[in-house]
Amino acid sequence: MSDRSDAKGGAGDASASLVKPLTERKEAFANRQATLGKGVAAARETGARAPSEGTGPANRHGLPQLPVGQRAVSKWPVLDLGDQPEISRADWRLQVDGLVERPLNLTWSEFLTLPQVDEESDFHCVTTWSRMDMRFRGVRVRDLVERAGALEAARFIFVTAYDEDPSSGEPYTTNLSLEAAMKSDVLLVHSWDGRPLPVEHGGPCRMVTPQQYAWKGAKWIRRITLRDHDERGFWEKRGYSNSANPWANDRYARAASR
C-alpha cells in the first residue's frame, strides 16, 4: 500500500524530511481506526461467526457482490511499499518449503509446466475499493501445496515477496491459514486479461486472494513456507487484521488481539 509522491527542491526537501515513512503512517492510521472501533470485526474478537455484509446480488461464492464499506471501481489502482522490483523471468524463482515432504525451487519454465487455470474473480482492497470480474490466469496454490506434499502438522502459510520496505529493508510478507490458501480461487497469477501481469501489479507473478483483502495476495512472490503456527506478516503486525474478511469489514486489529 503506497501513496508515493515526489518532493521537489528547496523548502520541499526540508518538509519532505519531516514526513514519516509510509509504513509508520499506515500503521498509525490502522491503530487509530482500531482504537475508534472502525474496521474492526467484533465477531472475530469474540470468536463468533462473522456475518456476511454487503450489497448487490450474490457473487460466485454466494456472498454479496460488493462487501460492506467498499465501492466499485473500473480501474486497477497501484498500491505498494514504494518498491517495484523488476524481476526477469530468467532470474525469478519460487520456493515452497517448511513442513513439506518435497521442497520446491521452481524456475519460470518449471512453473509454467504446472496445471494452468483461468479464473474470473473480484479484487477487494482494504483502502475501500473493489474491482469486479477480473480475468486471471495462473496456478492454484492448492496445486503447489499438493505437489510439495504438505505434512500433517502444517496449518498455515507464510509468504515472502521480492519487494522491500525502502525505510527498513524488510521484505514484504503476509500470512494465511492453510485452509484459506487451499481455496480453489487462490492463485499465483502471471496473466491478466490475456496479457502478462504488469510489473506495477506484481509481475511476473503475484498471489490473488478473492475472499480476503488484497494485501493477503503478495505481489512479486518468491516463497511460500508451510508452518504449524501462525506468524503475522508485514501489515498484520502493523495493525491490520490477521483474517482480513471483506464481508465482515475486518480491516484492522486492536493491539490486544495481535
Instruction: Report residue 25 CA to chain centroid gap.
Output: 19
pLDDT tens profile 26-63: 888 888 898 888 888 765 544 556 668 999 999 998 99
Q: Quick one: average pLDDT of 124-136?
A: 98
Q: What is the CA radius of gyration of the chain?
A: 18
The residues near 16 (Cβ < 8 Å, ≥ 6 apart) are 7
- Look at residue 80 and tell me whether its pLDDT is greater than 50: yes
CATH superfamily of 11-257: Oxidoreductase, molybdopterin-binding domain (3.90.420.10)
Helix/strand/coil for 198: coil
- Residue 3 has what pLDDT? 35
Cα separation of 98 and 80, whole Å?
27
What average pLDDT does the chain have?
90
- Residue 234 has what pLDDT? 97
Q: Quick one: average pLDDT of 65-87?
A: 96
Cα separation of 96 and 154, whole Å?
13
- Residue 256 has what pLDDT? 61
Cα separation of 145 and 254, whole Å?
32
Grid cell of 224 as nine digits = 511460500
Q: What is the DSSP string of 114-135?
A: SPPEEEEEEEE-TTSEEEEEEE
Grid cell of 45 as nine digits = 474478537
Q: Quick one: average pLDDT of 77-104?
A: 97
Edge-to-edge, what's the strand order for the sheet holding 104-106? 104-106, 94-98, 221-227, 156-164, 171-177
- Residue 88 has what pLDDT? 97
Handedness of CA 138, 147, 89, 130 (dihedral sign): positive
- Segments making up each domain of the chain, as ranges: 11-257
Q: Quick one: average pLDDT of 144-159?
A: 98
Q: Quick one: average pLDDT of 2-20?
A: 49
- Residue 54 has what pLDDT? 94
Residue type for position 16: A
Rama region for 67: left / alpha / beta (φ>0; ψ in -120 to 50; rest): beta
pLDDT tens profile 154-200: 999 999 999 999 999 999 999 999 999 999 999 999 999 999 999 99
Q: How confident is the model at residue 19 (pLDDT cuts 50, 70, 90)?
A: confident
Handedness of CA 185, 190, 192, 194 (dihedral sign): negative
pLDDT tens profile 192-239: 999 999 999 999 999 999 999 999 999 999 999 999 999 999 999 999
